[in-house]
Structure 1
Amino acid sequence: MDEIFLMNNVFIIICFVLVLLMQGGFILLEAGSTRMKNAGHIAGKTIFTVGIASLVFWAVGYGFIYGEGNLFIGLSDFFYGDFTSEVDGLAGSVDFMFQLAFAAIALTIAFGGFAERAKLSAYIVFAVLFSAAVYPVVAHWIWGDGWLAGLGKQDFAGSTVVHLTGAMAALAATIVLKPRIGKYNKDGSANNLAGHNQVYTALGVLLLWVGWFGFNGGSTLGVEGAFFGYVSLTTQLAAAAGALAAMLTVMALTGKADVPTMLNGALAGLVAITASTAFVATWAAVVIGLIAGVLVYLSMLFFDKMKIDDPIFALSVHGVAGIWGTLSTGFFATPALAEMNGGQAGLLYGGGLAQLGVQFTGVAVSGIYAFVAAFIILKAMSAVLGGIRVSEEEELMGLDISEHGSYGYPENIREDEKFGA
């Protein structure tokens, strides 16, 4: 067997493991960003929804994305089990595992809009429907030889496919579920329902940062030419710039170096560079990260002002930064890297508005589809399940005890956390 073939497959399996371990980062990020009385629930639901996403992706998701079909949906390779095929220089099963990890990440992002108020049954049903009917459609359009791929849409590792799709589903959830009890006052002012553990949140971000090298680096699909090294470099620079820009922005506006904002800045830089990591020069990666860091904080303020209760900041980190990152290739894609990885050069390299127009089209249609599909699914679920939000009493006592019968911190839970807002 060819040595390069083996090396490529080992590399991608390692990248799959890194992306799968990002779920651990999300557990710590989401648990740390919410209140103590919901921590066990957050950890548990992440594990079983990754399980659901895996089974649905095996049954239909992979086929809808990569199966033979038409420009809008794939229609083969359901209940995947081919051990003889090769895809993009990889064993088919290795490619399947890597793509599965991305589908699970998109679902976890979407669940940010459910935090601290959704019934466990809502997670179960939505996990099935999102993994079958929302994520695969957008992924097919861009990564599965769909109509956006035919236009030359640039999205190397998923600023649109994974992050924007998940964020728009999270937006639909925040609208359908409405804000948490105590988040907004009658006069419209917002209360800070602070997360219970900033150390967890920071560690979660670090785990996500490390996992991103599998996310972006693995999207090269091999080791030949060691291009994954360059992709890793632009990824690192954008994340660093995002953290710095977010910190400076919040300090300039409030006088304090707010920790959650710094952490979200790093994530915003990572999300933004995900589409463009293989298309841009290193200086552009820094600029992309800097702008993402500023945008993430300003959008956090905007969504709070609009009374959109987003405890995990999925809309800002994954939505706004995902949009910016996708559009950024239309400005910064170099001729050489665009020729190597698909699409056209960006505006700043004499490519005109063509690639920027394709990027904008991809963002608009993908975002609208993900939002509308998720909104319809959630509304239908609410009608069939008799509501998808827990009762006021259950929300006040916390989802740990109301949905699972035990606290994530049984010895340390405070009395005010048991029954207070």
Structure 2
Amino acid sequence: MQTIKFDYRYTALTKRTISVSGSNFSSLEWTSIAWATGLTIAIPILSFISFHLNSQFQTLITAVSTSIGVFFCLPAGFFKTTKIFIPYIAFIVLATTVASSSHTHHLALMVSSFKKSKTQKVSSFYSLLATSFGCLGSAIISAFIYHMLREADDRNLYTLWIVSIFSGLIWGVGILHVVTAINRTSVSSVSLMNRTMFYPCHIFKHPKAIAALFGVFLSSFTTMCIFTGAVLFIVGNLCIRPLHLLYFWLTYFLIPLISLPLLHPLQQLLNANSAKMKIIGLLLSMLSSGFGFYFWNSHWKWGHILIFGGIQSIGSGVLHAFGRVLVLEYAPTGKEGVFCVWYGWIRAAGLCLGFTVASVVPGQIKTSFGVAFVAALVGIVVLLFGNVDHNNSESGSNGNDNLGLDSKESVSV
């Protein structure tokens, strides 16, 4: 009976039942449109805050963006209509993107008091820990979503409201980050005339940073395309038991909780920089997507699904953890905010596009995994031949212009 209900949920997600101006969209495609809307709204806002992230307003930006996200977690399910979903999703995406940029900037400030030779080690450690704990939160939410999907149809909005409120409460804990944040800001030599909407264009003076951002975009696209395509394939084609779907989610989100902190000593042993760790993550994604592409028409057993989820979860965690570290390694002193907003938006855009590609072809795992495999391969080529390396002359020529900010370049607010 539960399997039949899950089949109905799958059909409701993938069937194009939403008609707008003569065009039909599925619920997944409608979500992609709302996601893209949120990213579009975020562009002028991120352009404006890119300068102010380097000032005393950094903690305020974090608090406001988190509060907006928490606030928009409350209406879903309260109003008995689905029309609210477009602004609901759009503002959630907006708040997430801004908050992600602010938290990334805070990572740069956290390592500013360390010596230049230790910044990469410390930033990698912090980023791995943050990613692993984020996976714990995702596992908790996935358990709530599983129970929401098991409820009767007439309780859909009610259960969605419960899950959204709980998500908002967890997100609201992030405001405590503002209280515990380092009361420090980096000095910027930019004149008042440059505090314009074109301030983010400063990143184009750093071509290697652009290559790193392109690698972040491809890795985000790859991981989301694989995850979304795999979930739709498992539910729609393999028709597994609902409880097994929960086990898959828990496997995907809980394995990084253990594996990512253990990767840090291995990284130090291999003396691997963030670019090399990104390549390792892309190789793991190529392995999982290639496995799914080659055996798409085979009978997947439960063990195959768990192995697939375990490999891809580690690859996804590595790509996320070292993506922001790689981008920040090119951030000059006083302009970290520019690099952070670019990272936040580019990563969100990659996730959105990956979700869209997998949603357009639901259940066709060969297509989504094939595209993800090619994207991961291109990402490796970019990282290898784009001279993306933390020991670069571009930032080295500016003294302490990389992630390790000189303590003399920072002042207390």
Whether these two folds match at TM > 0.5 is no
TM-score by length of 2: 0.28
TM-score by length of 1: 0.27
Q: Kindly indicate whether structure 1 or structure 2 has the higher relative contact order, using CA contacts under 8 Å at least 6 residues apart.
A: 2
